[in-house]
Amino acid sequence: MNDTTINSSELGANSLVERAKRNQHRFWAFSGLIFLVIGFSLASPNFFQTSNIISILQATSVNGVLAIAATLVIITAGIDLSVGTLMTFCAVVAGVLLTNLGLPMYIGIPGALLAGFLAGALSGFFVAKLNIPPFIATLGMMLVYKGLSLAICGGRPIYFNDTEGFVDISTGSIIGHVFPAFPIPNGVLILFLVAILASFILTRTILGRFIFALGSNEEALRLSGVNTDRWKIVVYSLAGGICAIAGILLASRINSAQPAIGQGYELDAIAAVVIGGTSLSGGKGTMLGTIIGALIISVVANGLRILSVPQEWQIVVTGSIIILAVYADQLRRGKT
């Protein structure tokens, strides 16, 4: 009797150690972020200024939200390459509804979100029901949304000058209104709200449980009597809806829906996910990690710009960081 108690408390301690190990990647990613911030602060007095920090956060908001969408899909062992152009497509939908049709925001914005959900559901349908590999299905849809956006706009941007308050969605500051010392833009606030919500879904709901189970062992989940096809479609739909949020944030920040941008964003999003420690083979990942990953990318871009490093080299550095982050993860896993 006594033996077992001692034993189990020991094992309890072990599982604590294990939990710390499991969170190690986030710890290292977070340390990396702090390291970068300190480094840039020492290198340039202009870096650690409120206005610069806010602009880093603002720059993170769109990619961060997209990365959250990508994280959900990647944990299921899928991939979504269409997040960037779907984001643009949803912005264009918002433009059509608000500017071209002159509808009010309370219709235009839910409309854009709905478009995102439905588009995601379509990708999910291709993946789950037609058994098209996620990479291919979303690669195809990436091009479809790009083409659709251009076709709808006739290649020209749609401006939101007539929609009062649209710009404030991203650039206004409710927080700054209450605490003038912290003029944190709404876009950043929305990023964190989406992250908290997504994190809650991931860790506290049935959907979240199934997202991890899909990525860890889809067949075991199916043989547990769970309708895995349906849940996959739900995941892709949710990711689509979150892309729409990113689309609205972006459109609001630049006061226009630019049909030609969007492609390439998916890679930044996936980079943030990977740097944040989510495994591309599925079953593992956290929203906090993804946010840290997105921040690292923005901090590097911003810091190097302040140090007047040419943009070409910024890209090289970002690429290297991705390799380094994943290699560090592999090293650690090899050791444990």
Partner 1 sequence: MSILVDMNGIEKLFPGVHALKSVQFELREGEVHALMGENGAGKSTLMKILSGVYTKDGGSVQVMGKDVVFAGPREAQDAGVGIIHQELSLMNDLTVAQNIFIGREPRNFLGILDEALLNKNAKDIFRRMNVAMDVGSDVGTMTIAKQQMVEIAKALSYNSKILIMDEPTAALNDTEIQELFRIIDQLKADGVGIVYISHKMDEIKQISDRVTVMRDGEFVGVRDSKDTSIEDIISMMVGRDLELETEQKPDTSDNTTALEVKNLNRGKFVKDVSFSLKKGEILGFAGLMGAGRTEVARVIFGADRLESGEIYVDGDRKYIDTPSKAVEAGIGYLSEDRKHFGLVLGMDVRTNISLASIARFGSALGVLDEAKISKTATDFISKLDIRTPSEKQEVKLLSGGNQQKVVIAKWLLRDCDILIFDEPTRGVDVGAKSEIYKILRDLAASGKAIIVISSELPEILRLSHRIAVMCEGNLTGFLPANSSQEEIMRLATATMQSSNNKNNQISEMSS
Cα torsion 70, 76, 79, 83: sign: negative
Please choose, from the candidates 44, 45, 31, the residue with its C-alpha nearest in 3D space to the C-alpha of residue 304. Answer: 44
Q: Minimum Å distance from CB 277 to partner 1?
A: 15
Of the candidate residues 49, 227, 311, 320, the single one contacting partner 1 (CB under 8 A): 227
Q: How far is CA 73 from the centre of its chain?
A: 10
Shorter beta-carbon distance to partner 1: residue 52 or 222 = 222
The residue (of 198 and 213) whose beta carbon lies closer to partner 1 is 213
# residues contacting partner 1 (CB under 8 A): 27
Least distance (Å) between residue 75 CB and partner 1? 12
DSSP letters, 120-140, are HHHHHHHHHTS---HHHHHHH
117 near 244, Cβ under 8 Å?
yes
Binding test (CB under 8 A) with partner 1, winner from 108, 116, 277, 283: 283
Among 154, 180, 225, 334, binds partner 1 (CB under 8 A): 225
Query: Is the CB of 55 or the CB of 216 nearer to partner 1?
Result: 216
Segment near partner 1 (CB under 8 A); pick from 48-56, 59-67, 129-137, 209-217: 209-217
Task: Work out whether 216 is an interface residue with partner 1 (CB under 8 A).
Answer: yes
Q: Is 159 helix (H, G, I), strand (E, B) or coil?
A: strand
Q: Which residue has the tokens 């294990």?
A: 18
Query: Which window, 4-12, 51-59, 150-158, 238-246, contacts partner 1 (CB under 8 A)?
Result: 4-12
Per the CB < 8 A criterion, the answer to whether 52 and 316 are in contact is no
Tell me the CA distances in angstroms from 77 to 134, 204, 271, 280, one per residue in order. Answer: 9, 20, 16, 6
Out of 3, 6, 12, 17, which residue is the one contacting partner 1 (CB under 8 A)?
A: 12
Residues 230, 221 contacting (CB under 8 angstroms): no
Contact 111, 97 (CB under 8 A): yes
- Report if residue 281 touches partner 1, rule: CB under 8 A: no
Task: Please report, as residue ranges, which positions from 175 to 204 form the binding site for partner 1 (by CB under 8 A).
Answer: 204
Q: Which residues bind partner 1 (CB under 8 A)?
A: 7-8, 11-12, 14-15, 204-207, 209-210, 212-213, 216-217, 219-227, 283-284
